[in-house]
């Protein structure tokens, strides 16, 4: 770990570069940009003291997805990729801070993605655009702008990234708090306040909206060696969906904050797995969000030309919200 200093307007790293370290801000403000230095430059966010940046490129070994620029004089701790666990070992609570940071970004992006999907559902492609309520017109404009300004920021999913998520057995090494459940067992319910996440050692978990009620919908199926339910643990927020065991003998490891500290001491590789899971989920959510924005942009362009194809209508009709746990 090294303390770095950056002058105002200095580029800390650039979009597309290989990421071999991440940063924790000690002083100052860092701007995160896409298309930096071009006519399409857009600032995504500003980060201040005690906030991390650049972590996704390190955790998943991806190129940088944005450019980081010092908005004023900045001091930051730089942590090389090979020193992640050593850095967190000095203070295990730091790993929880990192996880909360990723979780918060997932939650905020998920809200935008859900709104974009709701806008597509409300769209009724082919109807007279002039008859739309101003509220939906404003939403369409918003997401068209998001797509035009950020279309390069989403990365195609790679086989290597998925292999890193799924390539190791989660039941290796230290584990406790493990229980098995019969098919149909509800692990947690939508709307409940939770305090733990789960690791699937065996079996399959279904993630549902409106489970057991009219409009029930299976959003996704999660296989073994996946985590789920982390948002409730990291942010103490209500469960966004219901999780149900899809097979007999579904075996889950329950992870709360105290148990997370035990994992850090006794099975550090699992901490890296959880970080990678969060980073991958954020990246995948970004891709899904950009897909929704692209569809709204395509519809807007087609309607402005008066040439909405049947294929585009069907694409909008078939578009569905995706949830991965």
Find the helix packing angle between 268-305 and 93-123, rounded to 10°.
20
- State the pLDDT at residue 168: 64
- Residues 233-288 have pLDDT tens digits of 888 889 989 999 999 999 999 999 889 888 888 888 888 889 888 888 888 888 89
C-beta separation of 320 from 224 below 8 A: no
* Burial environment of residue 83 by CB neighbours within 10 A (0 to 12, 13 to 18, 19 or more): middle
- Residues 48-69 have pLDDT tens digits of 999 999 988 888 777 888 899 9
Look at the block and give the residue holding tokens 């584990």: 175
| Whether this model's pTM surpasses 0.85 | no
* Count of CB atoms situated within 10 Å of the CB of 323: 20
Query: Which residues of the chain are in CATH 2.60.120.10 domains?
Result: 2-83, 159-264
- State the pLDDT at residue 129: 83
Q: What angle do CA 23, 58, 112 make, to 5 degrees?
A: 85
Strands 250-255 and 178-181: antiparallel
Computed over every residue of the chain, the mean pLDDT equals 87
- Residues 155-190 have pLDDT tens digits of 555 545 555 555 567 777 777 899 999 999 999 999
Q: Return the CATH architecture of domain 159-264.
A: Sandwich (2.60)
2-83 has which fold?
Jelly Rolls (2.60.120)
C-beta separation of 244 from 208 below 8 A: yes
Coil vs helix vs strand at 67: strand
């Amino acid at each position: 770990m090294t303390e770095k200093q950056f002058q105002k307007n200095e580029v800390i790293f650039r979009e597309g570069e290989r990421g071999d370290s991440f940063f924790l801000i000690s002083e100052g403000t860092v701007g995160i940009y896409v298309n930096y230095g071009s006519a399409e430059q857009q600032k995504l966010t500003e980060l201040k003291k005690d906030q991390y940046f650049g972590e996704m490129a390190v955790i998943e070994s991806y190129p940088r997805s944005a450019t980081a620029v010092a908005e004023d004089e900045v001091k930051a701790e730089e942590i090389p990729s090979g020193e992640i666990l050593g850095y967190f070992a000095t203070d295990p609570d730091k790993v929880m801070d990192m996880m909360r940071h990723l979780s918060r970004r997932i939650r905020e992006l998920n809200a935008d993605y859900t709104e974009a999907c709701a806008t597509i559902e409300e769209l009724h492609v082919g109807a007279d655009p002039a008859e739309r309520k101003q509220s939906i017109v404003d939403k369409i404009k918003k997401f068209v702008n998001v797509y035009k300004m950020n279309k390069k920021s989403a990365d195609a999913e790679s086989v290597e990234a998925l292999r890193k998520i799924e390539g190791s057995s989660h039941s290796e090494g230290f584990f406790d708090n493990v229980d098995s459940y019969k098919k149909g067992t509800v692990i947690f319910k939508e709307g409940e306040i939770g305090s733990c996440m789960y690791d699937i050692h065996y079996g399959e978990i279904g993630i549902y909206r409106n489970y057991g009620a009219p409009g029930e919908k299976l959003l996704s199926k999660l296989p073994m060696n996946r985590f789920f339910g982390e948002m409730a643990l990291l942010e103490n927020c209500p469960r966004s969906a219901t999780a149900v065991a899809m097979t007999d003998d579904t075996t889950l490891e329950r992870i709360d904050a105290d148990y997370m500290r035990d994992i850090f001491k006794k099975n550090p590789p699992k901490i890296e797995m959880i970080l990678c899971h969060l980073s991958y989920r954020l990246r995948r959510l970004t891709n899904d969000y950009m897909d929704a924005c692209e569809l709204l942009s395509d519809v807007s362009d087609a309607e402005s030309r008066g040439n909405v194809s049947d294929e585009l209508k069907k694409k909008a009709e078939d578009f569905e919200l995706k949830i991965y746990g």
